Amino acid sequence: MADETKKIGKFFREVKAEMKKVIWPTKKDVVVYTEAVLVVMILFTVLIFVADTVFTYLLKLIIKG
């Protein structure tokens, strides 16, 4: 039991040491990354909408004819 407690304590000390090494993004970076993600999401949404519309139209032509 004591051995497990030492292992848990060591784990948390190591986690704390690793977290000090992390380089956190600035607020400006987070805003830029968020904007980039939103733009890409909008572009893909439009692309999927257009593809879906085209394929639906083509499928209706095939079924009708």
DSSP string, 3-65: HHHHHHHHHHHHHHHHHHH--PPPHHHHHHHHHHHHHHHHHHHHHHHHHHHHHHHHHHHHHH-
pLDDT attached to residue 14: 97
Nearest to 2 by CA among 12, 13, 10: 10
For residue 3, the model assigns a pLDDT of: 85
In angstroms, the CA 44 to CA 57 distance is: 20
Digit-coded pLDDT (tens) for 1-60: 778 899 999 999 999 999 999 999 999 999 999 999 999 999 999 999 999 999 999 999
